Chain A
Amino acid sequence: MTVDINFIGLIIASIMASSVPLILASCGELITERSGVLNLGVEGMMIIGAISGFALMTVTGNLFLAVIGAMLAGVLISTIFAFLTQTLITNHVATGLALTIFGIGISAMIGKNFVGIPGKEFPVLFGGLKDSIPFLSPILFGHSVVFYFAFALPFITNYFLKKTKIGLIVRAVGDSPDSASNQGINVRLVRYLCILYGGAMCGLAGAYLSMIYTPQWIENMTGGRGWIALALVVFSTWNPIKILIGAMIFGGLTIIQFHMQAIGVRIPVQFLTALPYIVTIIVLVVISRDSRKIRLSTPSSLGKSFYKDN
């Protein structure tokens, strides 16, 4: 194989495209978890987003409407979770798991009529500049608007949590809901909003899969990416920048292992297939090994219900 700089650019672009749904879902879940709520329904919300986006695209033909609709569908299904865990004070873990099961089931039911229908071409930005600069062009140009948004999101999330007042409120609610409540913050409302935001991002992640990445609907098409997104949040120790790194490593190794197979590298394929999971966890554990920082960034009340009546 000749090492061609454009070839490497193409591979990096593929890696980035494959990590988009992980980044979106993880960054959404990160905000939810930072407010002290553990929502294990990521996979369910993603699949609901995937079918909603695809169905709206097929029925209305309007891509913008479909993307917004997918996000709203994510919001809608996470409202159920929010109502159960915040208003009825149910257990976060059990409710989240139920949400995933519910999402997979209902998406399959809605999706029955959409199997075997080809998706629409999603418009790309700067498509004309695709060949202008060697190496950089495939990375920078010719992607969907969701792609650019996904790569801005970790930085926006980081800024939001660290530099804005609302970000501070979210962290306060997650770290010590009692003190936050005593300060006059409506803990339940903040958590509601964070859950809905997480739902919107997971919906968008699902829509990216069914509308942009592989434009089609088939059952279970998220293929466990929601669980990987959940794991990324934990192993990145609730740090959006590390989520970006983790998602890139995961996406990268998935693609590079296919390249290694195609080149004919003599490593057992099963090992190559497991590689993304192993390496992503190792890298994230290593870069997050400072236990003081972990304590600082872990939402102390994660998964605990807040009982106080306002």
Chain B
Amino acid sequence: MHKIFIRSLVSSLVFLFTLTVSAVAKDVKAAFVYIGPTGDHGWTYQHDVGRKAVEAAGFKTTYVEGVPESADAERVLRQLANSGHDVIFTTSFGYMNPTNKVAKEFPNVKFEHATGYKREHPNVSTYAARFYEGRTILGTIAGSMTKSNVIGYVASFPIPEVIRGINSFTLAAQKVNPNIKTKIVWAFTWYDPGKEAEAAKALIDQGADIIAQHTDSTAIVQIAEKAGIFAFGQASDMDKFAPKAVLTSVENNWGPYYVDRVKAVANGTWNQKDTWHGIGDGMVVISDLDSAIPADVRAKVNQLEKDLASGKVHSFTGPIYDQKGNLMVAEGKTADDGMLAGMMTYVKGVEGDIPK
């Protein structure tokens, strides 16, 4: 309760502040709505890096951080639309309904909603990144480099985005090493360094010698560094937090898309669309590969990155079976975007059940 109260209080203060900042208007102005603080060094932080790219391209931007996915979001959106912003980026799944609702009231303002699928009005676009392509690369490295054949995976919440990541990681790892086991621990948080560290420690004590994460803080790679094992960075390049442990990171790179869309608004060429970009379009970036990765694995990974980018290889190529052995994707076929967007079953080889 307290947290929600504090959050909303802080966000309304920040909000008042941003309003005063944005009072002087000229040219195209873009606004960004964030679920977390820009200081999370994860999801919101990366969106804010994208916002700064828009700023560097010569546009005015404002942002509101820590906006709850509730009626508060609607209020914030309405205020931003009222105060002369031409395009508003809403950067969390839970803003889906508020975005569409407010978009109806402001047909002249463009709305860009991240990770959602509802485009109920012509002024709403959606965009997301194919992070699972990055996880295919991580899985390939993990499968090639594990000695204990146990790979730990710290997950956040059981939503399709996370399940898809676990599946694509496991499929890739099994492809290079059929004996591996992916042990999953649900932390039920996006970022709480203490809790993430405890989850990672538990996995290491259970014999994992490589740890992947779908939570945002750098605590996990630091624990891996201390334990002398390997890990992968999430959202941003985490190499400097654990130079020995981090083999590579999957970076979220929103900047080019944001600049592109704001420019389109400025030129009057903005149109509604649904964007789902991956490695090929540069929205998902693989950080430099660590020197600990052997040359043959490195070569394989570089090739895989190229093939994923060109579309020659798809992360979900059949035959893929679920845990019970039912066929999910037939041989020679690839999973379509509809299936990927709603993926809520584990593939064969993942241990445990998805929390309901």
Contact = CB atoms under 8 A, between A and B. Distances in A.
Given A214-B219, A269-B188, A100 B2 contact: yes
A18 B197 CA distance: 9
Contacts of A105: 10, 13
B37 interface: yes
Interface string B239-272: 0111000000000000000000000000000000
B278 interface: no
Interface string A197-233: 0000000000001000111111111011101000000
Contact of A219 (B39, B352, B355): B39
Nearest to B226: A121
B6 interface: yes
Contact of B205 (A14, A118, A224): A14
B32 interface: no
A227 B194 contact: no
A10 interface: yes
Contact of A213 (B3, B185, B194): B194
A116 B41 contact: yes
B186 interface: yes
A215 B222 contact: yes
B355 A269 contact: yes
Interface string A10-46: 1100100010010000000000000000000000000
B159 to A, nearest CB: 14
A112 B193 CA distance: 17
B152 A262 contact: yes
B219 A254 contact: no
A32 B304 CA distance: 60
B195 A223 contact: yes
Contact of A118 (B187, B202, B240): B240
B351 interface: yes
Given A14-B205, A105-B10, A225-B194, A270 B41 contact: no
A214 B9 contact: no
B192 interface: yes
Contacts of B6: 100-101, 104
A93 to B, nearest CB: 12
Nearest to A224: B3
Given A18-B194, A254-B195, A216 B218 contact: yes
Question: Chain B contact residues (Cβ within 8 angstroms of A): what range?
Answer: 35 or more
Contacts of A273: 186, 188
B288 interface: no
Contacts of A269: 186, 188, 355
Nearest to A259: B202
A225 B195 CA distance: 11
Contacts of A221: 192-194, 217
B194 A259 contact: no
A105 B38 CA distance: 13
A216 B3 contact: no
Contact of A116 (B45, B185, B199): B45
A146 to B, nearest CB: 15
Contacts of B312: none
A99 B159 CA distance: 36
B353 interface: yes
Contacts of A263: 206
Nearest to A43: B2
A111 interface: yes
Contacts of B15: none
Nearest to B39: A219
Interface string A106-129: 001001100110100000000000
A214 B39 contact: no
Interface string B176-210: 00000001111111011111111101110110100
B26 interface: no
Contacts of A11: 205
B125 interface: no
A261 B352 contact: yes
A225 B198 CA distance: 14
A268 interface: yes
A7 interface: yes
Nearest to A101: B6
Contact of A216 (B201, B205, B219, B352): B219
A1 B183 CA distance: 13
Interface string A244-262: 0000000000110011011
Contacts of B42: 218
A214 B10 contact: no
Contacts of A10: 205
9 contacts: A115-B45, A213-B193, A223-B192, A225-B194, A254-B195, A261-B352, A262-B183, A264-B351, A266-B353
Interface of A: 1, 7, 10-11, 14, 18, 21, 97, 100-101, 104-105, 108, 111-112, 115-116, 118, 209, 213-221, 223-225, 227, 254-255, 258-259, 261-264, 266, 268-270, 273
4 closest A-B pairs by CB: A258-B202, A214-B193, A269-B355, A219-B39
